[in-house]
Amino acid sequence: EADAAGFSDLSDSELLQAEEPREAEEPRSARGPDGAGKRKRAQRPLDRCALRYLCVTGLAGQSWCEQQMVFGMEQPRPLAPETAALLDTGKSIHLARELEVHDLVKIPTTSREDCWAIKILNLLSVIPVLQAGGHVRELPVFGVIEGVFVSGIIDELCYNTKGELELNELKTRSRPFMPGKAQRKKDHFQVSLYKYIFDTMVQGQLKPDVFTNHIHLRPEQLLGCQLRKHAQKIGFMITSFGDLLELMHLNLMFSDIPGIDCLKIEYSHQESSVPLGTEVVPYEEATVKEKAQYYLAYWKGQREVRGVDIEEAWKCQSCGYSEICNWRKKRAEGLEKRNEPKKSK
């Protein structure tokens, strides 16, 4: 079977993992003595939250409720124990699937460039597997959309029986049935964004200066000793972060890997592992771009944050921020006013 061949191709491969994962963003307190002044001047939510990039899952979260996603970034709260347990189990299931196709190697990191180099090396290491028609998991993707750097991780890519490149996203659920329309809409947008970014990458559009201009990484930074050794082991002679960026650009540009042909989401019940169903997601590039443009407009300070529309007010019932949410309050006040009996003249 084609898939089985893919598995065996990869059984000896390794994916790197930062030993002590470092937050990619510089801490707010590290902005120097005039940090407070800079914060005051910073108007764009991206600057206010000290973000140099956004994640695909975050943008998809905006399609559920933008205000909730923003609260989550600005005022993160500990998860409810049952939610945390669900997420932990979900992570373990993903990890188990990942370990089926490669081993994880812990690499110590000493700079932000080392952390990003790990992601880029992981991307470089799967290119030959895809070129050989193999099967990969946990593939990092990066790109710039509407002037904002966006990063994500594709669950799985493989070639189907028609020879098409197929993306598979696994979603585990606490409840033993398929999600509703709103959840599916969010998931569809997530996988569509993965395709959009992946396709631009394999078309050679991910240029080295994207990493220096958008996330302010230093091309001249020397990479850590163990990282360089591992890169050499998989065939890349690199010294600095800039060397790696050049290699990434050339490898992607001349890879001949096709764009993604088919998007699938597999839902399964977390407790029993029973598959609940698989959705084939239609892809419309114009719609994906339009949505991304709308969501990114908030981060670029071009419009105010929005909560859910009245038809989706049911989402507020299970929202951890409902008691501080002005959007919800204003909507309730507006409804009350509309329902007030009209005074007789």
Positions in the binding site for ligand SF4 (CB under 6 A): 65, 67-68, 71, 307-308, 315-316, 319, 321-322, 325, 327-328
User: What does the DSSP assignment read for 87-151?
Assistant: HHHHHHHHHHHHHHH-EEEEE---SHHHHHHHHHHHHHHHHHHHHTT--EEEEEEEEEETTEEEE
Nearest residue (CB) to ligand SF4, 17 versus 322: 322
Q: Closest distance between ligand SF4 and the C-beta of residue 35, in Å?
A: 29
Q: Which residue is nearest to ligand SF4 (CB)?
A: 307
Q: Closest distance between ligand SF4 and the C-beta of residue 245, in Å?
A: 38
Q: Closest distance between ligand SF4 and the C-beta of residue 294, in Å?
A: 16
Say how far apart CA 75 and CA 176 lie, in whole Å.
Answer: 31
Nearest residue (CB) to ligand SF4, 72 versus 204: 72
Distances (CA, A) of 190 to 15, 38, 89, 152, 166: 23, 33, 21, 9, 15
Per-residue burial over 5-18, b if 16 or more Cβ lie within 10 Å, else e, is ebeebbeebbbbeb
Q: Closest distance between ligand SF4 and the C-beta of residue 332, in Å?
A: 10
Nearest residue (CB) to ligand SF4, 107 versus 308: 308
Nearest residue (CB) to ligand SF4, 205 versus 322: 322
Say how far apart CA 309 and CA 197 lie, in whole Å.
Answer: 29
Nearest residue (CB) to ligand SF4, 70 versus 263: 70
